[in-house]
Amino acid sequence: MGIIPYLHRYGENLVCIYVVYVGGNLVKSLNTIQKKITNFIKPIVPEDYVKLHKDLLRKAIVTTTAVVSLTVAYHTVSAENPTSRDMATIYHVYVNDNYVGTVNNKEVVEATIQKKINSKQGQYAEEYEWTIGNDIEYVEETAFRPSFNNEQTIKNVQSSIQVLVETAAIVVNNEPVAYLEDLTLAQEAIKQLKLKYIDEQTLSQVEKSSATTEALPPLQEGESRIIDVELSKDVAIETVKAKPTDILTVDQVVALLQKGTLEEKKYEVQEGDVLGLIANEHNLTLKQILSLNPDIQEDTVLQIGQPLNVTVYEPYVEVVVKKEVYERVSIPYQREVKQDDTIYKGDIKVQQDGKEGEKLVNKIISIQNGQPAAEEVIQEEILQAPVNEIVLKGTKVIPSRGTGNFLWPTYGGYISSKQGYRWGKFHKGIDIAQPYDRTIRSSDNGIVEFAGWDGGYGKKVVVNHRNGYKTIYAHLSNINVSVGDTVERGRKLGIMGSTGNSTGIHLHFEIYKNGRLQNPLDYVR
């Protein structure tokens, strides 16, 4: 059996812990010993003492390696009357709450830290404000014959601490995104970012105006002014610790905030590449890749080896310029459509012309990174209301079957050539020339069967009257109908012309019945 005493200062008293053990079988797992001793001590030793001096208890547990039965005695003695001349003070050292060792003098740790700081200072020409980026904590203990290891603790401290510099961080939505040497440079970076989208004089005026509570004078018609320049996200400047290699210049920070990156990914054009394929492979739209490479167009011939920027910019923050304007603007008129059964279906007629109105508008325009983003109307005054356009839309059904009574296909004119042989060839129809209006109209109701170019006929229209008759209108200069259109008797088909094999401006007109050519003069006069 053995007794191990542990004497420790606790508040105004010295605490003595006796661990009584009986030798016997060796317990294989120290975890088992720790659990047993911890559970045994809990009801005896105050909980706050256990929490504060868990390392002392851990040392007692580790020392007791062969345990069969345990007895722990706990009592206090006056700190003013220590019972032993072997009492000494030691310091348990923690780096970021992690135990790294025990020393008998804090100054050896402080000297180690300062030595590492001095070493870093010698590597940089800049006069940075150096510090360590770790929390160092010392837990003082006065104990009976305590153990410590200065050399090992110093090594552990050297490998655990990180030497950093005091910097000014630009924080976007509570996340540091860029570091500068000091607050002045950080403020300058924010200013330069804003100056990308507004001139310095205007920015100065806006800042002065924001600092006063005086209301701005009302704008007159045609006037405008910048009333605010802000950032699209919450941006703050905070003093933080960072690596010197993380510190950027003002220009670098401005570029980083604008683009979200300082590195542009490049792609070299390969044989067989086309712009659309390159964009697709990098998850870009054609519009995006053209925007990233302003020196090329959609139809630019790419060269093998040509570098293309394929970096998608995602700005950390954008500049929002708010502009107040007071201007006269037009009010667009609406189009009102009414059904009319006196007008054939497919036709429309304007009953009343539309007219725009006018109003005076006082509004605030938000311009984000140089592009209009939103508008807020403060006040508006209607000067003249718009007049709606009224359109009559025909609903009358056009009969697609002919009546058999044919209309003269032009407005006036004379027969310049009849049906029959001429110049050694048979002339299939009649030619009508010199009308007072060159409009060509359908001789009867029907459906357009052909509308287009046909060799010697030139521009030609064929109307199927769906009663066995068909009519042909040739040499037109312009066609006003399409295949499938239903046309009524007298409907405009096109304009007289001289296309195809023609000796002058005229209409060539033919009539067929059940597929057999007819003499048009038997039907029209």
Instruction: Give yes or no: residues 113 and 142 share one domain.
Output: yes
Contact predicate 349/343, CB 8 Å: yes
Regarding whether 188 and 105 lie in a shared domain, the answer is no
Within a domain: 315: no
Q: Does residue 376 sit within a domain?
A: yes
Domain-ending residue, one of 130, 161, 192: 161
Mean pLDDT across 140-157: 93
Residue 45: the pLDDT is: 52
Please give the pLDDT value at position 236.
96
Q: Does residue 382 sit within a domain?
A: yes
- The structural domain count of the chain equals 6
Selection from 321, 315, 172 nearest residue 234 by Cα: 172
* DSSP E strands, 57-189: 70-78, 87-95, 98-103, 130-132, 136-144, 163-172, 175-180
The pLDDT tens digits of the residues spanning 22-56 come to 443 333 334 444 544 555 455 545 555 555 555 55
77 and 94 part of one domain: no
Q: Please tell me whether residues 419 and 496 are part of one structural domain.
A: yes
Task: Give the type of residue at 62.
Answer: V
**182 and 249 assigned to the same domain:** yes
Please tell me the distance from the alpha carbon of residue 472 to that of residue 457, in angstroms, as a whole number. 10
Type of residue at 120: K
Q: Are residues 421 and 392 in the same domain?
A: no
**The predicted structure's pLDDT at residue 48:** 53
Q: In this model, does residue 60 exceed pLDDT 80?
A: no
Instruction: Mark whether 28 and 65 lie in a shared domain.
Output: yes
Cα distance between residue 207 and residue 187, in whole Å: 14
pLDDT in tens, 219-233: 999 999 999 999 999
Note whether residue 300 is domain-resident.
yes
CA angle at residue 101 from 73 to 6, to 5 degrees?
A: 15
Indicate whether 240 pLDDT > 80.
yes
Q: What local confidence, expressed as pLDDT, does residue 15 receive?
A: 52
pLDDT for the residue 490: 93
Return the closest-CA partner of residue 142 out of 83, 100, 71, 183.
83
Predicted local distance difference test score (pLDDT) of residue 16: 53
- Confidence label for 178 from pLDDT (cuts 50, 70 and 90): very high
Strands 389-396 and 335-344: parallel
Do 229 and 155 lie in one domain? The reply is no
| Same domain? 419 vs 361 | no
Q: How many other CB atoms are there within 10 angstroms of residue 352's CB atom?
A: 12
Phi, psi dihedral angles at 153 (to 5 degrees): -65, -40
Within a domain: residue 406? no
pLDDT digits (tens, 9 = 90+) for 342-369: 887 778 999 999 999 999 999 999 999 9
Tokens, residue 79:
């700190």
Stretch 145-171: mean pLDDT: 93
**Checking DSSP bridges between strand 486-487 and strand 446-453, what pairing results, if any?**
antiparallel
Output the domain CATH number for residue 511: 2.70.70.10
Q: Is residue 407 part of a domain?
A: no
Whether residue 243 is contained in a domain is answered as yes
How do residues 431-464 score in pLDDT, each as one tens digit?
999 999 999 999 999 999 999 999 999 999 999 9
- Cα distance between residue 162 and residue 240, in whole Å: 14
Residues 6+ apart with CB under 8 A from 341: 394, 395, 396
Q: Quote the pLDDT of residue 61.
A: 46
pLDDT in tens, 3-31: 445 455 544 455 555 444 444 333 333 44
**CATH classification of the domain holding 290:** 3.10.350.10
Two structure tokens written together for 209: 């105006």
Q: Bigger pLDDT: 397 or 411? A: 411
Which among 83, 99, 131 is the end of a domain? 83
Q: Is residue 409 part of a domain?
A: no
Burial level of 109, CB count in 10 A (0-12/13-18/19+)? buried
Tell me the average pLDDT of the chain.
85
Q: Which of 370, 361, 297, 356 is nearest to 324 (CA)?
A: 361
pLDDT at 10: 47
Within this chain, do residues 299 and 228 fall inside the same structural domain, yes or no? no
**What residues make up the domain containing 288?**
266-309
Q: Are residues 136 and 150 in the same domain?
A: yes
